[in-house]
């Protein structure tokens, strides 16, 4: 179908009209004048609005192609992979804002969103994680492409004994995989400064401190002795990596805004960026890099504790606890960790051992969906489950979550618990991936070559765990009828309950 989704209506198959869908979404979020920014990630169209009271969530959920809505700091409209890019492009044309663009009066929008978050009783940790996710989401396409290139070329080099090392087009492809991770700190610093309302280019300069380059003046030697910093000694740009670049980008943003408050307008253009990079640079290399190094080591220690020390129990806890993060839209806050794990120069040599364990969460949900399809007699629920299962198997679990398990509550819990069975096997098999961005059956594309069979076995175990627990403990007919309506009655609306569960 040329990549265009199909929809079944009264036995007929028709193609989705992306322009029409974009117009309906624009109307439901309050029109063009209410849009502050728009961006897309792997599955969602993220819309920043000036006035949230103009957003009609119930109307959004009834638009063709919409799989779910998360009304949080931004309005996140779930379309699924591929579809979201086409709808997002049409939506950007209607708003006149480039995808990822921000409006000029960003301070007013930020103030409004801050007040909205307070009203929703979001804690400071949750709000901070969402901002971290906003920094890394735009980088995902590059991380995915580079990770796949590195993984595939490594396999090719081993299999043919580096026979293609002198082939120019092959080395051209390898260069992209190398470049993304070599200069990723620059992109992280740039997006961090942008997210925290600073100048992106100054944040990019902050990230340059963590790009390993022998020509860096800080690495210069005097009399064969390398320069030393106060307190920390010899400078190593690789220490701290992405975490240090993230902190430096945030520091530069705050520092720039602080300096601009007292800098006379006539001097602002020249001296605000100059003082920002000089003061920020000194603080970065003396203070932030050691902090970033400590945090990075702490993250690896925790992951190693779950993965090595706890073993199978750690695998269970990680996979069973992942779905709640997805339900809240916080799962992308893990992107920095995935990026570090997929970095070829990192401690895991580019192999991500965390992601396969987390992938099992989708398997538990698929198993729960199959159990509901087999045991439930509610026609509407069975229809929604049947339509959601194929994409869930492929790796897009949001339709199942937002349309089936999350509104019902109990199946969501049993899906989480069942997913842990697959997490145990993924941990025992020592599964790894060479990139990120896909799950389900599509996960076979990024699993370390030679581990595909173990991956399938682990995923089937997650299916089985979700199915058994849901079949025996997750089906509540009275709850199902209350949410979806009885077969002989008009179904009740589920939007309010779904939104309440999402907030939780």
Catalytic residue annotation? 41
Enter the tokens of residue 491.
């179904």
Backbone torsion region of residue 220, taken as left when φ is above 0, otherwise alpha when ψ lies between -120 and 50, otherwise beta? beta
What interhelical angle do 355-375 and 452-473 show, nearest 10?
40
- What residue has token string 């595909």? 452
> Is 288 exposed, middle or buried (CB count within 10 Å of its CB: 0-12, 13-18, 19+)?
buried
Enter the tokens of residue 471.
């079949």
Pairing assessment for the beta strands 233-234 and 228-229 based on DSSP bridges = antiparallel
Cα separations in angstroms, 229 against 224, 232, 238? 16, 6, 15
Enter the tokens of residue 319.
């996979």
- What residue has token string 């849009």? 35
Gap between the Cα atoms of 116 and 121, Å rounded: 9
Enter the tokens of residue 128.
């901070």
**Is there a contact between 359 and 426 (Cβ–Cβ < 8 Å)?**
yes
CA torsion 19-66-500-386 (nearest 10°) is 170
Nearest 5°: CA angle at 475, between 469 and 478? 160
Gap between the Cα atoms of 20 and 28, Å rounded: 12
DSSP class of residue 228 equals E
Enter the tokens of residue 349.
């040599």
- What residue has token string 């049409």? 90
**Is there a contact between 458 and 422 (Cβ–Cβ < 8 Å)?**
yes
Element (H, E) at 75: strand 75-78
Helix, strand, or coil (residue 275): helix
Strand partners, 101: 38
Cα separations in angstroms, 363 against 152, 379, 408, 427? 26, 24, 18, 15
Closest CA to 492 of 381, 368, 392, 395: 381
Closest CA to 335 of 133, 487, 178: 133
């Amino acid at each position: 179908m040329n990549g265009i989704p199909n929809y079944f209506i009264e036995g007929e198959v028709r193609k989705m009209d992306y322009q029409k869908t974009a117009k309906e979404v624009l109307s439901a979020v309050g029109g063009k004048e209410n849009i502050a920014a728009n961006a897309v990630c792997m599955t969602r169209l993220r819309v920043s609005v000036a006035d949230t009271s103009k957003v009609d969530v119930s109307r959004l959920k009834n638009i063709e192609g919409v799989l779910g809505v998360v009304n949080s700091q931004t309005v996140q409209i779930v379309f699924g992979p591929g579809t979201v890019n086409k709808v997002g492009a049409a939506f950007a044309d209607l708003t006149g804002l480039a995808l990822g663009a921000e409006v000029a009066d960003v301070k007013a929008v930020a103030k409004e969103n801050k007040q909205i978050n307070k009203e929703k009783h979001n804690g400071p940790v949750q709000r901070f994680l969402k901002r971290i996710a906003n920094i890394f989401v735009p980088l995902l396409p590059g991380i995915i492409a580079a990770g796949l290139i590195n993984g595939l070329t490594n396999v090719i080099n081993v299999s043919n004994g580096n026979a293609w090392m002198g082939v120019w087009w092959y080395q051209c492809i390898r260069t992209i995989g190398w470049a993304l991770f070599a200069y990723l700190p620059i992109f992280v610093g740039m997006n961090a400064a942008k997210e925290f309302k600073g100048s992106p280019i100054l944040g990019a300069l902050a990230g340059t401190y963590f790009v390993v380059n022998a020509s860096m003046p800080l690495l210069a030697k005097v009399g064969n002795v390398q320069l030393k910093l106060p307190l920390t000694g010899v400078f190593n740009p690789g220490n701290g990596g992405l975490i240090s670049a993230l902190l430096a980008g945030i520091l530069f943003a705050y520092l720039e805004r602080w300096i601009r408050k007292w800098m006379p307008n006539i001097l602002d253009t020249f001296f605000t960026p100059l003082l920002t990079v000089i003061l920020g640079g000194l603080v970065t290399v003396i203070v932030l890099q050691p902090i970033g190094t400590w945090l990075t080591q702490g993250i690896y220690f925790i992951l190693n504790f779950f993965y090595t020390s706890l073993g199978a129990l750690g695998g269970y806890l990680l996979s069973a606890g992942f779905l709640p993060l997805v339900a809240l839209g916080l799962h992308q806050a893990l992107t920095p960790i995935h990026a570090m794990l997929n970095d070829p120069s990192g401690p895991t040599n580019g192999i991500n051992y965390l992601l396969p364990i987390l992938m099992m969460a989708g398997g538990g949900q698929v198993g729960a969906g199959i159990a509901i399809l087999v045991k439930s007699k509610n026609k509407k629920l069975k229809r929604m489950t049947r339509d959601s299962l194929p994409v869930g198997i492929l790796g897009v679990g949001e339709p199942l979550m937002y349309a089936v398990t999350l509104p019902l509550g109990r199946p969501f819990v049993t899906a989480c618990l069942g997913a842990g069975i697959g997490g145990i096997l993924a941990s025992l098999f020592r599964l790894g991936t060479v990139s990120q961005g896909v799950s389900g059956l599509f996960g076979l594309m990024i699993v370390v070559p030679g581990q595909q069979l173990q991956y399938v076995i682990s995923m089937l175990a997650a299916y089985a765990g979700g199915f058994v627990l849901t079949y025996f403990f997750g089906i509540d007919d009275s709850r199902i009828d209350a949410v979806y309506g009885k077969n002989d009655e008009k179904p009740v609306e589920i939007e309010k309950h779904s939104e309440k569960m999402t907030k939780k």
